[in-house]
Amino acid sequence: MMVAYLIMATIIVLSLMYLFGSISHRIDHGLNDEYAQTFAMVRRKEISLEEEAGRLTASESSQLLCDIDFEMKSIDGRQKRFFNNDIDFARWVMLAVVMVSVLGSVSLYQQIGYSKEVAFTKDLQTQQLTSQKVSDFLKYRSARYDRVEDWYYLATDYVSTEKYKEAVLAFERALEKLPRNAENRVNLLVEYAQAIFYANGGQSSEKMLNVVDAILQVAPTQATALDLKGVANFAQQDYLGAVLAWQEAIRYSGHSTERLALLSAISRARELGGIDYQQVAPIITDQLAVKVEWDASELTWQKDDVLLVYALMKGEKMPIAIQRVFPDDLAQPILLTNLDSLMPTVTLAETDKVDLVIKLAKINDNDLTKGRIIGIKHGLLTNRKEIFEIKVAL
């Protein structure tokens, strides 16, 4: 692009030089030509008179006449140069060059994409962005800059619009650009594996399993990869392998929604594979399910809100099970289990009843435990097949 700009600038400079030369030599031709001829004629006459009067010798007179002839030839030579063309032609050339330069500048502006970025920024500031505008801009950025982040954002946009096959291709381009030892490569591989899974209609595939195996070689505790490994085992009717993989996924997953889904999947795999608790002991032995309720007219969640949901034994201050929950996750029950213990020896298995406390804090707080208590319920029984509801309020 810089070369194109330099060529255009050179054309403008040369055009101005040509116009200036044409004007200046037109003036020379119109005004100085007649004056030069008159001067030469007068000068020759003066030289002749000086020679007759004896003030010049014949050789001096001859030399002066040669000088005049040389000067006249120089003037004629300058007048015959290219810059002596008609000034009207120079004007038309200049007009054409200006038009080409302006049109070329606009074309370059459009081609290099600055207009698209300006339009996108304007829509962003005026809150006029649509999902289609965002998708089009991400496509343009990926094609133009071909960077990891551009392909990643395009891939995630495809996932959000359920265009999973396109997302797979975009993730592959991002992985090609990302260094092998990059810190976030595992996270990118996880999202890539999920896109492959959804692009295949929610079914396992060899391609997905290869990606999952690559993830687990580097990060053997990655919960999503373990979940997908269980899916692949289940599809191959390896129900024991599915149970083991899903139990490991539960161990390293801190999200209640994921755990509830995994527990359901494990139950199904145990049933189909005839796998009892003696063959594979359950990883979750004690649990407490809680549903948070609130009055929307009195309580509105903020983007930086975070809730601490924890269980206390009677007379104790240290939680025996705790979960950090964001407002977006409150639509599903919160599952506190024996895996959520802060203390290595005390879990939900050590008590039949607990007090449940809900605190509201800000995600950027240095100490989330200093948040406000917005809900509390005493004497809840663990391992009950029910979901306890707690209404919170400020």
Could you tell me the pLDDT band of residue 79, with boundaries at 50, 70 and 90?
A: low
**CB burial readout 135-152, b (16+ within 10 A) else e:** bebbbbbbeeeeebebbb
Asked whether the whole model's pTM tops 0.75, one would answer: no
Predicted pLDDT of residue 224: 95
Could you tell me the pLDDT band of residue 187, with boundaries at 50, 70 and 90?
A: very high
d(Cα 311, Cα 383) in Å, to the nearest integer?
13
d(Cα 391, Cα 295) in Å, to the nearest integer?
8
Q: Could you count the other beta carbons within 10 Å of the beta carbon of residue 121? A: 11
Over the stretch 109-128, which tens digit does the pLDDT of each residue have?
556 555 667 666 776 677 77
Predicted pLDDT of residue 33: 58
DSSP string, 213-233: HHHHHH-TT-HHHHHHHHHHH
d(Cα 105, Cα 118) in Å, to the nearest integer?
16
Predicted pLDDT of residue 343: 73
* Helix orientation angle between 164-177 and 148-160, rounded to the nearest 10 degrees: 160
d(Cα 328, Cα 282) in Å, to the nearest integer?
29
Residues 6 or more apart in contact with residue 48 via CB below 8 angstroms: 61
Residue 168: which of 140, 187, 146, 188 has the closest Cα? Answer: 188
Over the stretch 253-293, which tens digit does the pLDDT of each residue have?
878 888 889 999 999 999 999 999 999 999 888 899 999 99
Q: Helix, strand, or coil here: 299?
A: coil
The number of angstroms, rounded, from the C-alpha of 216 to the middle of its chain's C-alpha atoms is 27
Residue 27 has pLDDT above 70, yes or no: no
